[in-house]
Structure 1
Amino acid sequence: MSPEITNFVGYGASFFVVLSFILKDLRKIRIVNLVGCMLFVIYGIYSNYLWPIIIPNAILCGIQVFHLVKKS
């Protein structure tokens, strides 16, 4: 992936994580935050495996999925 696209993925991830703090509905917060975390994982992988970004966001993805499935 080109560095420009990688940067856009990182900006998109930041956008979705910040957006998740603006929302009030817990289900929407989890979905939007999940998208942001997944984008951060992708960003970390394509930025030469930035493990401090990949690991916590992958864990957060799992937590968000767990709560979304548990509530359904």
Structure 2
Amino acid sequence: MEMATVWEWVGYAASIVVAYSLMMSDIKKLRWWNLVGAALFVAYGLAISAYPVALVNGFIVFIDAYYLVKIYQHEASQV
């Protein structure tokens, strides 16, 4: 399989994962799935030199990670 084709499939997988994340009612699951999808989009964007795609999704990874840390810290303080 050609590398271009592999990266196309990574882009499709990223789209599916992000769409799946938006169907979550649990915010933790939504953040985790969205983080994975955005990370895949970062890899995809860098691989095909689509730097705006990589940049925006890198920011989304950061946002998801930030809120996941806040969620887990809040849960830990509740114990």
Indicate whether the TM-score tops 0.5: yes
Aligned-pair distance for 1:25? 0.4
Aligned-pair distance for 1:4? 1.0
- For residues 6-56 of structure 1, what are the alpha-carbon distances to aligned partners after superposition, in whole Å with 9 as ceiling and x for unaligned? 011000100011001111100000000000000000000111x21110111
| CA distance in structure 1 between the aligned counterparts of 2:3 and 2:52, rounded to whole angstroms | 21
Q: TM-score of the superposition, structure 2-length normalised? A: 0.86
Matched residue, 1:61: 61
Q: TM-score of the superposition, structure 1-length normalised? A: 0.93
Q: Which residue identity does 1:59 align to in structure 2?
A: F
In structure 2, stretches of 5+ residues that fail to align are 73-79
In structure 1, stretches of 5+ residues that fail to align are none
1:27-42 map, 5 Å: 27-42=28-43
Matched residue, 2:45: 44
Q: Percent identity?
A: 35
